């Protein structure tokens, strides 16, 4: 990959998964809970349903973040103050 930015560079891969069967189960759970927040009041006309949906969303998001942290594993720690803030000139 050629770039005019100094390295190391962070690369983020994206996928265009249009079939919900291909989505991660935790992602689906978070998406469903987010949609539930949006339609809770118009569908039921009860303000309490928004709180219930928001609690479900928070639980689903926490579970997804926890699973992602476990799958991602540890991160490389660089003790230098500048490197922690993105200045990698000292590492060349």
Domain count, the chain: 1
**Residue 48 belongs to a domain:** yes
**Residue 77 belongs to a domain:** no
pLDDT in tens, 60-69: 999 998 887 7
* pLDDT(56) > 90: yes
**Residue 86 belongs to a domain:** no
pTM for this model (two decimals): 0.60
pLDDT in tens, 4-42: 888 888 888 788 888 889 888 999 999 999 999 999 999
Query: In b/e form, how buried is each residue of 62-91, taking b as 16+ CB within 10 angstroms?
Result: eebeeeeeeeeeeeeeeeeeeeeeeeeeee
Percent of the chain exceeding pLDDT 70 equals 75
**Residue 92 belongs to a domain:** no
**Residue 8 belongs to a domain:** no
**Residue 41 belongs to a domain:** yes
**Residue 28 belongs to a domain:** yes
The whole domain housing 49 covers 20-72
């Amino acid at each position: 990959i050629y770039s005019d930015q100094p390295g190391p560079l962070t690369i983020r891969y994206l996928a265009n998964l249009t079939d919900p069967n291909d989505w991660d189960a935790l992602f689906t759970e978070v998406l469903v809970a987010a949609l539930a927040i949006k339609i809770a009041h118009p569908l039921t006309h009860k303000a309490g349903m928004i709180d219930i949906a928001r609690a479900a969303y928070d639980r689903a998001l926490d579970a997804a973040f926890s699973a992602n942290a476990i799958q991602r594993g540890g991160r490389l720690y660089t003790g230098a103050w500048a490197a922690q803030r993105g200045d990698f000139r000292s590492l060349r």
